[in-house]
Structure formats: C-alpha cells, structure tokens
Structure 1
C-alpha cells in the first residue's frame, strides 16, 4: 500500500519531528509527511492537496487545533467530502478537553503529551486502519469516475 499522506500540525518544529519519528518507530504504516506550523497554514495545505491523516496540536497561534478541526469538519460537510482522519495531540489532559476534542470538534482520536512509541502502536492502530480504508475507497471512486469519463469503445475490439 502507498504511504499515507499525513499532515503534522504544531507550532513547535521539534514536536512535529517527534510526532513524525514516533509514527515511524511505531511501524503502523508508511507515511509521507507534510508539516504546518498552525491551523491556518494547515487549512491552506488541506485546500491545495488531499491528505489521509492529520495530527493536530491544540494550542497554536493564528488558529488553534480545535478551531482547525471544526473548520475541516465544516468544509467536509459543505463539500460532501469523505472525512479526514484527525488526531488531536496535546498536553491538555482533562476529561472536559478530551470531550471537547472528540465530541464537539469531532476529532477521531486524542493523544496526550508526552507520548511513547508503544502508546502510538496501541492507540493508533484502528485510526491508521481507518485512514487506509478511506484512502482505498477514495482510490476506487477515482478509478470509477475515470472509467465512466472515458468514451465508450466502439466496434468489436480487434476488428477495428
């Protein structure tokens, strides 16, 4: 399977590298990483390209992770797009914050900092599988659309 196109959104370059390294060490899939330093930059990148997965920090300048996730979900509904798999990664640990991320903003999962490779392996297995499934479905739809757009072949094949 092709690498999952993955957006890492955090205002700290060091933290973005830690997330990428930990995902690599967890060996759940192959990833093609793109970085964004805040939610606003991430939204621009999401408009320019399709992603399979995004890991989003909560506290960032310009646009917080929660506001970014809400904006992504709103755009998906408006465009009738498949959902992007979104994982909130944050030092926020209260139940209220987790509920806000998952139930209000509609993130797919919540990981608290600091995190370990083992934690990623256990907590993200189903999330990564969901991203892979959505990608396969999107690829199937693209093949169908391309096949339907191709003009019907006329004649009897080798008789033409």
Structure 2
C-alpha cells in the first residue's frame, strides 16, 4: 500500500515517516509531496491508499487540496497531520471529508489509532492521543516531562532536563507565539548550542555539524531551518486543557535584529522556565520558555 505525505517542510515529512515506522507501518511505500498542488497531482499519478497532509502549505493548502480532490471525484482516504487543531479546523476538515486530524506533537500510538482503521492493524474506536483542545483560558507553562517527551519524539534521541540559566545574549533561535487575535502570549528561545544540537539531530546530521556551528558562533542555514521547525511543533505544548490556542508567529536567528520587546520578555523574571537540555550524542544547551 502507498502513503502520500504532503508537507512543505522536508524535516516534518521525515518526522512523519519516522513515526509511521515506529507505529508499525514500515512495510508501506511512502511518497512525498512538497505542497497541496503537488499532492493533488500525485494522487492521479501515484494512486496512494492514504494521503497525510499538513494544513498550511504554499500554492495549495491542505484543505484546498482535499476539497479539490473531492470535487474531481477522487476518494482517496485523507487525514491531516498539522501543528494546529482548532475546532474550526476540525469542523472544516470533517465537512470536506477528512477522516481525522492529528495535531502535533504526535506519537506512534496516535498514528496507530488513526491510521490502523485505514491501513489495517488498528482499532477504529481507539482514542487519539495528543490531539489538542482549545479554549479561552490562560496559557500555562509546560512541565519538563511534556517538553522532554516532545523533543525525544521529534529528535529520536534521549534528552535530559535540569535547571538552567536565563539567556545572556547567546540566543540561537527565538520564536514568538500568538493567540487567535495575534496577541503575543509566549516566547521560546534556544541558545546557540541548543539550536545547533536540535537542528542537527532533527536533520539527521552528525554531531560534528553542530559542534562546528558552536565553535564558529554561527548558526548555519540548515540548522536554523531545522530548529525553527521544532519551534513550530512546540506550539502544541501550550495548547492543552482550556488554554488559548497558540501558534508560532515569527522566529529570529542569531545575527538577525531581534525585536526589542522580544528581548525584554526573554530577560523578564516572572512566568518562565529555563532548562539545561542535554541531547544524547550531541551536547547540552539552554531552552527558555516565557509567558507574556
């Protein structure tokens, strides 16, 4: 059987493929598409048995792809794997004919529960894990266990957490997160070593690639792109219970002009956690999360 994965991020496509294997679907052929239009065309040329799609993509979004497929008469089973999971998105997905919407972060169990009824090997009544809920309540700081589980799932590497220090001018990548009204609600930062180690690990690059970046005090473009992908997925850490649904709004890297207000939030005293995170086989850096 064929599984078509549509996501404009190569890193995220690799994460989805790895999770498929962990869920026991490693005997299926996998095809990749870079955007919704590419996926739409490959449904005709490749005849996949399942299409897993991101929501926001250039040229044609995931929901536009699904609607176009159904309008053309194509009935390929379709599911979303995306960083957002608002009630509006879920309603739109269901109305267009999607079988499920899995919100990041996801696990092998999540995939097994959602894909099993389509590909075989799962239970149609299984509960999906890590599917975010939305609300209007206050955003809460994540706990170390949730952050560790997320990073280990993304990087496929053991991570250990300890108390760390606030960043002191050594920011590698910083991301800002907003609610549905685009109000700034949280800031997440990796110092240079953390950004390099995470960027290398998720990109399946050797530890030496990260070590070179740290030694040169320069975050190479591929490491920056990969670290930004992790920031995007980390939005799900805030989207629990009745908390306001947050999404990554912007990210800035070493060498760029980081907005003054973002720097101010990063150095604030209250509503924050700072962890020293060790990525097995790579090294230790600092992860800071601040509520605004």
SS of 1:111's partner is: strand
1:4-61 deviation line (CA, Å, top 9, x unaligned): 1111000000100111110111014621011000011111212222111110000000
1:116-145 deviation line (CA, Å, top 9, x unaligned): 112112232213239xxxxxxxxxxxxxxx
Query: For residues 11 and 117 of structure 2, what CA distance do their matches in structure 1 show?
Result: 26
Partner of 2:71: 74
Taking the TM superposition and a 5 Å limit, the aligned residue runs for 1:111-130 are: 111-129=102-120
1:99-122 deviation line (CA, Å, top 9, x unaligned): 11112x211111111111121122
Partner of 2:97: 106
Q: Greater helix percent: which structure?
A: 1
Contact 2:40 2:69 survives alignment (8 Å): yes
| RMSD of equivalent CA atoms | 1.7
SS of 1:93's partner is: coil
SS of 1:72's partner is: helix
Large movers: runs of 4+ above 3 Å: none
How many residues in Structure 1 have an aligned counterpart in Structure 2? 121
TM-score (norm 2): 0.40
Partner of 2:2: 5
Q: Which runs of 5+ in 2 are unaligned?
A: 122-292
Contact 1:109 1:127 survives alignment (8 Å): no
Contact 2:85 2:101 survives alignment (8 Å): no
Contact 1:9 1:37 survives alignment (8 Å): yes
Contact 1:22 1:120 survives alignment (8 Å): yes
TM-score (norm 1): 0.70
Q: Which has the higher contact order (CA 8 A, sep 6+)?
A: 1
Partner of 1:89: 81
Query: For residues 101 and 92 of structure 1, what CA distance do their matches in structure 2 show?
Result: 12
Partner of 2:44: 47
Q: Greater strand percent: which structure?
A: 2
